[in-house]
Structure 1
Amino acid sequence: MQSELDDLYAVVRGVTRIPADWQTVVDALIPALAGKVPAAPVVLRQVPAPARGGDDRSHVLHVEPDGSYSVVALISRPGQATSIHDHTTWCVVAVVAGVECEERFRLTDDGRALFPMETRNDPPGTVSGFAPPGDIHRVTNAGTSVGISLHIYGTDICRIGNSVRRTYDLPIVPPGKKTRS
């Protein structure tokens, strides 16, 4: 079945065909996708109509036949946030519409709290990514309209059921408080 996103899938396919470690794949995909983020209407046509105003779950758009990657759309309402979580594999995110705030964390040495590492507000067209370990984060729609982002995972998301490895319900160390590295 032909998709309006076939060109994007072809770019990802080309990068993921070259054997490489996860961070190398992420580092290659980010510039490869720059300037190729699809328009919001293109993505919205790929998700069920009731989800187009924001949804609590992601929508699988494509799984590569060999299971090497999956593309998922996240359609979020203003203020909607994910749990703090990490992933089972690498991930590259392309912001299609809205402003996506990503907060990254690391565990404190004793593993009992989270230390804030970075906060970014990504506008449409931004492509970013990460590879475990060190991918603890939370994503929030920081805009005033529906947010749309594409999440590309290095696995068959339908086979494993979810990209989240674990969620973190831990206190966050207040800014300025010292913690051991």
Structure 2
Amino acid sequence: MEQLYAAIRAATRIPADWQLVVDTVVTDLSGKLPTADDVLRAVPAEARQGSDRSQVLHVEPDGSFSVVALISRPGQATSVHDHTTWCVVAVVAGTEYEERFSLDEGERTLLLTGTRTDQAGAVSGFAPPGDIHRVTNSGTTVAISLHVYGTDIARIGNSVRRTYDLSIAV
């Protein structure tokens, strides 16, 4: 896991706008992810078969980034949410289905703007604004993903800016 943190550290030391940081972290992590066993060894035993909470793995001492593991059971989904900062997601095991949304003009309805299905090895990212999304374990096994956030998760509690309990236009 230390090699992963070192790669993120190097990518975040170059002053840049959030999207450039995201692109750099995605490039630097692609093809260099830890194994599922490495991630599972880093989380509490009770979370290894799936958990409703993300597991904090690392907070950089200067607060510049944090890494959490999301271990989800088949069918388990996050709320529809957005973030306070940039995020890079790396799927280590399983399958994750992501739906992206925007708000209609009156901010009363979510509009589906895109979907993607990621398998183990996929690395992607985004920077606010425009990062409203929901992630579902669409596979038949436990899914493991790493989420890198450009903030100190220990200080702010989590990276979610807000959740959306709105109807979704189909």
TM > 0.5: yes
Query: AA paired with 2:37?
Result: P
Structure 1 vs Structure 2: percent identity of aligned residues?
Answer: 71
The counterpart of 1:53, out of the listed 38, 49, 52, is 49
Shift of 1:28: 1.0
Which 5+ residue runs of structure 1 have no aligned equivalent?
A: 175-181
Structure 2: tracts of 5 or more residues without a match:
none
Is the aligned partner of 1:30 residue 2:26?
yes
Counterpart residue type for residue 164 of structure 2: Y
1:33-112 equivalences in 2 (<5 Å): 33-112=29-108
Higher strand content, 1 or 2: 2
Secondary structure of 1:53's counterpart equals coil
Q: TM-score, normalised by structure 2?
A: 0.99
Deviation at 1:136, TM superposition (A): 0.1
Scaled by the length of structure 1, the TM-score of the pair is: 0.93
Alpha-carbon distance between aligned partners in 1 of 2:149 and 2:34, rounded to the nearest angstrom: 17
Aligned partner of 1:178 in structure 2 is none
Q: Corresponding residue for 1:159?
A: 155
The ranges of structure 1 where at least 4 consecutive aligned residues each deviate by more than 2 angstroms after the TM superposition are: none
Q: Name which of structure 1's ranges 23-32 and 135-144 shifts more when overlaid on structure 2.
A: 23-32
CA deviation map 1:121-149 (0-9, x unaligned): 10000000000000000000000000000
- CA offset digits 1:34-83 (Å, max 9, x no partner): 10111100000000001100000000000000000000000000000000
Distance 2:113 2:24 in 1: 23
* 1:41 alignment partner AA: D
User: What amino acid is the match of 1:97?
Assistant: A
Alignment-derived partner of residue 142 in structure 1? 138
CA deviations on 1:142-178 (whole Å, 9 max, x unpaired) are: 000000000000000010001000000001111xxxx
- CA deviation after TM superposition for structure 1 residue 27, in Å: 1.0
User: Among 124, 127, 130, which residue is 2:123 paired with?
Assistant: 127
CA distance in 2, matches of 1:80, 1:154: 25
Instruction: Give the paired residue count.
Output: 170
